[in-house]
Amino acid sequence: MRKTRLAAFFAVLLLALASVVVAGCGGGGDSTSSGGGGETSSESGGGEPLSVGSDIPYPPFEQGKPGNYTGFDIELMEAIGEKIGRTPEFQDTSFETIFRDVAQGKFDAVISAATITEEREQAVDFSNPYYLSEQAVLVKEGSDIKSLEDLDGKTVAAQQGTTGLELAKEELSDSEIRPYPEGPDAVNALKAGTVEGVIIDAPVAQNAVEKSGGVEIAEKVPTEETYGIAVAQGETELLDEINQGLKEVEQDGTYKTIYEKWFHLEPPKEIESETHEAE
């Protein structure tokens, strides 16, 4: 008898706990949806709307709720739109079909952290690169390691499935390379001293330097990857306009402001001189 009562007590306790958890989660969900992203899209551009496809979310490039999208790509596109007198209207879409859709005219342009590749250029035309993907070598503060080469032969961490891991495998043949499931795990291993360096996306590394401390960026390594804005093939007029807008945004400092806002880093100098021939 006593045993059943005890069991019943625990059952009630568990049930109560579960309901508290469920209620908590519900509350959390509500608050995030009502909070919403910060900036609203600028209404100022005026002129003809420009429909832009993007695969949202992919923070910090694109994020936020419909009608309230924000992020590096979004703000950059809005700034470009302002220069060329078009108001971008963002459409959330899936990345697998994004190039086919822009080629077929579903949107005028695509800005979606899209790397310029030969394959994609078969289907669309790309603007000049607006973002250079950089990898950072993250080390402990005051470490002797000053560059990627210095890490050869050392124990190095990276995140599974990332460009950083590929870079480590290619460049550091004598190293023991540890692929952690998540970026922060790799940074923690560095802080704990079980690895001597981490190779990871520069914005992520910068975030770790600011928020966690005790680590510093030894070197930034540019990769071959550059991001571009895509338009349908043959839309040379629009492409020229976008390139012109991008150039103006870069020259008047708007680009730098947006870059620093989203990545907490100085933009690489090369970006201004990078051009790209649409094929």
Partner 1 sequence: MSEFFHQYFDFTIMGDHFSEVLEGFFKNLLLFAVVVILALMWGLILALIRQLPGKKFAPLRFLTIAYIDVLRAIPILIILLLISGGIPYLEFIPKDIRIPHWFGQPDPFWYSVLGLTMVYGAYMAEVYRAGIEAVPGGQFEAARSLGMSYGKAMRHVVVPQAVTKIPAPMLNEMISLLKDTTLASVVALGEAVLVSREILAESFNSSAVILAGAMFLVITLPAARLVDVLIKRNQAKVSRGAHIEVA
The one-letter amino acid at 155 = T
Give strand pairing partners of 222: 134
Q: What are phi and psi for residue 188, nearest 5 degrees?
A: -65, -40
- 70: part of which helix (H) or strand (E)? none
Q: Quick one: which of 80, 102, 157, 265 contacts partner 1 (CB under 8 A)?
A: 157
Choose between 10 and 89: whose C-beta lies nearer to partner 1: 10
- The answer to the question of residue 143 lying near partner 1 (CB under 8 A) is no
Choose between 161 and 234: whose C-beta lies nearer to partner 1: 161
The closest alpha carbon to 245, from 52, 105, 115, belongs to 52
- The answer to the question of residue 193 lying near partner 1 (CB under 8 A) is yes
| CB contact burial 109-147 (16+ within 10 A = b; e otherwise) | bbbbbbbbeeebbeebbbbbbbbbbbbbbbbbeebebee
Choose between 189 and 238: whose C-beta lies nearer to partner 1: 189
**Residue 57 C-beta: closest distance to partner 1, Å:** 20
Choose between 160 and 257: whose C-beta lies nearer to partner 1: 160
- The answer to the question of residue 24 lying near partner 1 (CB under 8 A) is no
Q: Quick one: which of 130, 180, 227, 259 contacts partner 1 (CB under 8 A)?
A: 180
- The answer to the question of residue 161 lying near partner 1 (CB under 8 A) is yes
The closest alpha carbon to 178, from 202, 200, 161, 195, belongs to 195
- The answer to the question of residue 223 lying near partner 1 (CB under 8 A) is no
Binding site for partner 1 (CB under 8 A): 155, 157, 160-161, 176, 178-181, 185-186, 188-189, 192-194
